[in-house]
A = this chain, B = another copy of it.
Amino acid sequence: MNALFEKLDRGLTGIRLYGIAPPKLATDPERLGEIAAQHVARLRQLAPDGLVVYDIQDEPGRSGQARPFPFLPTVDPERYAYDALAELEIPKIVYRCVGAQPREAFSRWLDTVRAAGGRRLSVLVGAPSAQSRGSGLPLAEAHALARAAPSLMVGGIAIAERHVTKLDEHQRMLAKQDRGCRFFITQSVYDAASTKSLLSDYALELQARGRAPAPVVLTFSPCGSARTLELMKWLGISFPRWLENELRHSADTLERSIHLCERVFADVQDYAREKNLPIGINVESVSIRKSEIEASVELYRRLTGQLASRP
């Protein structure tokens, strides 16, 4: 049995994922082939339990601030995962922004999942706000429809930054579990305290309701420059002031960020162990700069080492 499905089916700690965004839609076919070949090579080398493929949408409503990088549409993540990376044997967890499409598109996709045979994994993401959804599918309806495809294992996102202000993210997680979600993936963790706070309320709520936890996969990304830092902040990732200072004033921002990710993960890992919460890691590079991608590979190695040595 595949390691990822076993860990998910049994709610185990120790899931190891690597995440990528699909190439830009405007990429010419030859270059697309090269990128896919690089992804295959990198992932064979890393051999994670699974590959995360993001669904990058333009979000003009987000944070009211100008996007630091221009938005460029990407190849459809589903097609990239299953066509361009077809030769990659590991399970793929494909993100799907359900709020960006009407119900019919989601239903058609479910048909293809059923037709594909074998188990599939997807993280369903709602619209950032009811306003931004427009005629898109509400997340709860997508969850209800997805139950008709038993071969599909659905995960959800868990956002510690949202918990800081609203204090209800743990209840959203439980509601998603009620609607069939079997695991969660966070956005990049640089703020150990807010992540521990979410895990704390989640653990208390599970205990109060007599429920079992779903694995929470913590995402980590290297940060090699002030520009990447700005992008990550724009994406909603929070940085404690001292940690942002460390990055901004370091002679080697990239190496410093890797070291800080290790420390943040150790802190959250210790806490999750105390609370008997199964966790995992997902490493990605939010930037496509070569140095930051290489750093994500190094970070993946270090965090999986930490995951194995302090289970």
Q: Which residue of B lies closest to A196 (CB)?
A: B242
Give the segment of A40-48, A99-107, A197-205 that binds chain B. Answer: A197-205
Say yes or no for A271: interface residue by CB 8 A criterion. yes
Report the interface size for chain A: residues with CB under 8 A from the other chain.
Answer: 20
Instruction: Convert A232-259 into 0s and 1s, putting 1 for each residue whose CB lies closer than 8 angstroms to a CB of B.
Output: 0000000011100110010000000000
Identify the interface centre among A196, A200, A242, A245: most chain B CB within 10 Å of its CB: A242
Contact across chains for A249 and B196 when beta carbons are under 8 A apart: no
Is residue A288 within 8 Å, beta carbon to beta carbon, of the partner chain? Answer: no
A174-222 contacts to B, CB under 8 A, are: 191-194, 196-197, 199-201, 204
Contacts of A246 in B (CB 8 A): 200
B241 touches A197 (CB 8 A): yes
What is the CA–CA distance of A197 and B244 in the complex, to the nearest angstrom?
9
A residues 129-170 in Cβ contact with B at 8 Å: 163-164, 167
C-alpha gap A200/B199 in the complex (Å):
27
Please, which residues of chain B bring their CB within 8 A of the CB of A167?
241
The reply to whether B271 and A201 contact each other, CB–CB distance below 8 Å, is no
In the complex, chain B residues whose CB is within 8 Å of the CB of A241: 163-164, 167, 193-194, 197, 200-201
Q: What residues on B are CB-neighbors of A163 within 8 Å?
A: 241
Partner of A271, one of B199, B200, B242: B242
In the docked arrangement, what's the CA distance between A196 and B246, Å?
A: 11
Residues from chain B with a CB closer than 8 A to the CB of A199 are 242
Whole-angstrom distance from the CB of A191 to the nearest CB of chain B? 8
Chain B residue numbers with a CB within 8 Å of A191 are 193
- Closest B residue to A207 by beta carbon equals B249
A246 and B200 alpha carbons, distance in the complex (Å): 8
User: Which of B204, B242, B271 contacts A193 (CB under 8 A)?
Assistant: B242
Q: In the bound complex, what is the Cα–Cα distance between A201 and B246 (angstroms)?
A: 10
Contacts of A242 in B (CB 8 A): 193, 196-197, 199-200, 271
Determine the distance from Cα of A191 to Cα of B240 in the docked complex, in whole angstroms. 12
Question: What is the CA–CA distance of A200 and B242 in the complex, to the nearest angstrom?
Answer: 5
Sorted nearest first, the 5 A-B pairs with minimum C-beta distance are A197-B241, A200-B242, A196-B242, A197-B242, A200-B245
21 A–B contacts from the bound complex (CB under 8 Å): A164-B241, A167-B241, A192-B193, A193-B193, A193-B240, A193-B241, A193-B242, A194-B241, A196-B240, A196-B242, A197-B240, A197-B241, A197-B242, A197-B245, A199-B242, A200-B241, A200-B245, A201-B241, A201-B245, A204-B245, A204-B249
